Amino acid sequence: MKRNILLVSLLVFAVTFSGCLSIFNKLEKIVVSADNDTIKQGESVNLSAKGFGKNNKEIPLSKLQWKLNDETLGELETDGSKAVFTANENAEGKVKITVSQGKVSDSIEITIEKADEEPEPEPVNREQLEQLINEAETLLDETTVGDEPGQVSEADYTALQSALDNANAVNENEEATQEQVDEAANLLSAAIASFKEAIIPEPDPVNKDALITAVNEAEELLENTPSGIYKGQAPVHAHAELEAAVNAATVVVDDDEAAQEDVDEAVTALEAAISKFNSEIVTAEDPLKVHTFTIDSSYSGAFTTDGKGAIEYNTDPAYIKSGTTSLKHTIIGNPSPFRVRVAHPNWITDWREYDHITLWFYVENTEGLNRDYAFIFQYPDGTERKTLKRSAFQNGWNELVFNLRDDLGLTNEQLADMNLYFQFILRNADGEISVYIDEIRLIQLEEVIIVDKTALESAITEAEALKSGTPVGSEPGHAPEAAHTALQAAIDEAKGVLNDPEADQDTIDSAVVAINTAVAEFIEAIIKEDSTLIISEDFTGLTSIDDFWKASYKSLPGDPDQPMYKLTGGKITLENGMLVLDGARFTIGMPSDRAETTDADTDAGGTFDLSKSYKITVEYDTVSGELSKKFQIYIDNNTTSAGKSIHASKGSTASRPYSVSLEALPENGVIEVTPNVGTENSFIQLRVESSAIIKIKSFKVEYL
């Protein structure tokens, strides 16, 4: 009981004491604040309230009351001593917010300003896109699919239509942005450009001026060039060929649908025909006298054959040289004779005033002729006078000319009484073949004067044999070029007399004396043996660089089968009698099977004795290319490395005694070197470095 009373008393004391404390901490003021006193429509502001007691000491607040003076201006959300005010989207003016606890309160005024107006978005510019759409639609409407000028392929048409469809879709989309519109315009513009590029262009106007000019030129040639086989004339077949070419060209000229390519081809063909016609015009002088065994279909028995041949008259101008008719001979079997008989209306028996018999012979393909006995001239029957192999003929027309006396061996006695037929024995290779024969003639090319030219002929033969058997050069047994030239001049002069039909006997005898004198002088000029000369070369008589590398031109001493010279690298040519080294090298006096030299060699492997003092002389004409590159002389070295030689032990460059740039070579064009290396069986190599060229006129190696 006492314990309960004690507890009650303690509780009463605690309550009373608490009330006394409140009296000492009484709320005297409230202060309300905000993040900002001005906001825009739709914006929010944070507010907070604090309480203060005596001596401005902050005390906790409880049971606060927040209140708006105008709830139409916004919404106030509270949370104890904190609150958030959010202005309405259309609110404008001032709003007063009051906070209170009991009788203590405070308020704050917030200004609501009109929100900034967002700028109106710029309208999307579709003008360019719409213009491109119109252009694309026009192109598609006006252009069809095909492969003619002004048309396009189906793929190109479809590509533009697809780009147009995409552009229309973007243009019709009201929500499309400017970027999307611009992209569609760019794509359509590119498609339009590609479409225009794909349109097949109209062909350029056909220009026929060159063709018309060529036709006029050809027609003038035909009009002003007579048909025939004499000077200034052109054969019938040449006229026919050019006329055919003119006709073909005229068709193209008159063809309004002809393409430029057709015109150009016609020009090329006609110009070729004109060139060929011009080449057919005879330029040789006419014979002094002519007798023709005329070809006329009215002649019976003038031309015959046997069962191995068939003869018929031909009127096709392609196979006629002159006139209107030629003879077609078909070789059926071998041998097949073609005979010109005494029954010919134009036959004559005395042929002495003529020196040649000639005929024109046409064969389409020479392979059809017998290889070894294609044509044999016989007179009389069975006596073969001249045989021609297949190789003597070319496809087409061939002029066969035989000297009656020299080629056929007919004497003046025989020529005075030609009372038997002559014949051409023809043979084929295999199967029938047809040939054409025209313009069989006896001709006189020169007057014949009977004089004794036997001694002159013998002297000429002796002189020619001496000259051909003596090489041109400066070595023993050779004769200088001047001596050869002098003897050749004497030979030519003697031949002039020999061939001169008007030369009398005194002139002939004088020619014999003159050529014999020239022979004696030539023999005197032949170079005697020179013990100091090792080799001398000036390329006299050399006409082909291929011959330079052959033993038949010059061989190694003591070995006629081994060539004196061997190409070891680069390019060497022959130009105007000079050796042209273009980044090249070659050896002199080295066997062609000599292996590449090395510093381990124990034998030089050459053919010259260079163990004694000697000199190398090189005469050059010009240099070109990179003039800083060098001209070099090697001894017993067939490589480009100076150390690869038997002489390497004497120094790394001992085998290369001469190495001078082209720009520093002697101005007088003569290089002289006296090497101090050599063996009893040495060889020499001349070299010019790559990208450099030197023209060598001559070289010589001699003992000092």
CATH code, 103: 2.60.40.1080
What are 82's two structure tokens?
């904190």
The answer to whether residue 20 is domain-embedded is no
- Hey, is 252 helix, strand or coil? helix
Same domain? For 386 and 474 the reply is no
Q: Are residues 423 and 565 in the same domain?
A: no
Query: Is residue 22 domain-resident?
Result: no
Closest by CA to 87, choosing from 76, 101, 103, is 76
Which distant-in-sequence residues (6+ apart) come within 8 Å of 575 by Cβ?
A: 695
Beta strand extents in 36-117 (DSSP E only): 38-40, 44-52, 58-59, 65-68, 74-79, 82-87, 93-101, 104-113
pTM of the model: 0.42
* Contact by Cβ (8 Å): 685, 637: yes
The answer to whether residues 514 and 405 belong to one domain is no
Query: Is position 6 within any domain?
Result: no
Half-sphere exposure of 554 (CA within 13 A, CB side): 25
459 and 336 share a domain? Answer: no
Residue 587 in tokens = 């050896």
Together in a domain, 550 and 694? yes
Task: Tell me if 433 sits within 8 A of 330, measured CB to CB.
Answer: yes
- Residue 13 counted as domain residue: no
- Domain boundary among the residues 113, 140, 159 is at 113
Domain boundary among 164, 198, 232: 198
Choose one of 400, 424, 444: the last residue of a domain: 444
Task: Let me know if residue 2 belongs to a domain.
Answer: no
Q: Is 698 within a domain?
A: yes
Residues 490 and 463: beta-carbon distance below 8 Å: yes
Q: Please, which residues have CB within 8 angstroms of residue 440's CB and are 6 or more apart in sequence?
A: 292, 293, 295, 340, 357, 358, 359
In sequence order, the 6+-apart residues with CB closer than 8 A to the CB of 72 are 88, 91
Assigned domain for 395 exists: yes
263 and 194 together in one domain = no
- What is the CATH number for 223? 1.20.1270.90
568 and 595 together in one domain: yes
Query: Do 393 and 302 share a structural domain?
Result: yes
What pLDDT does residue 9 have?
46
Q: Residue 227 has what DSSP assignment?
A: B
Q: Looking at the structure, do residues 382 and 329 belong to the same domain, yes or no? A: yes
Name the DSSP class of 71.
G
* Both structure tokens of 401: 């000319």
Q: What confidence score (pLDDT) does residue 39 get?
A: 92
- Model confidence over 33-58: pLDDT tens digits? 999 999 999 899 999 999 999 888 99
pLDDT value of position 7: 44
State which residues form the domain around 160.
Answer: 127-198
Based on the domain organization, do 580 and 664 belong to the same domain? yes
Assess whether 697 and 574 both reside in one domain.
yes
Whether residue 660 is contained in a domain is answered as yes
- Distance of alpha carbon 363 from alpha carbon 133, whole angstroms: 72
Positions of the chain with pLDDT lower than 70, given as ranges:
1-25, 118-119, 448-451, 529-531
Q: Specify the residue for token string 């004559």.
A: 348
How buried is 239 (Cβ within 10 angstroms: 0-12 exposed, 13-18 middle, 19+ buried)?
buried
- Are 557 and 656 members of one domain? yes
For residue 630, list its beta bridge partners.
661
Q: Number of folded domains in the chain?
A: 6
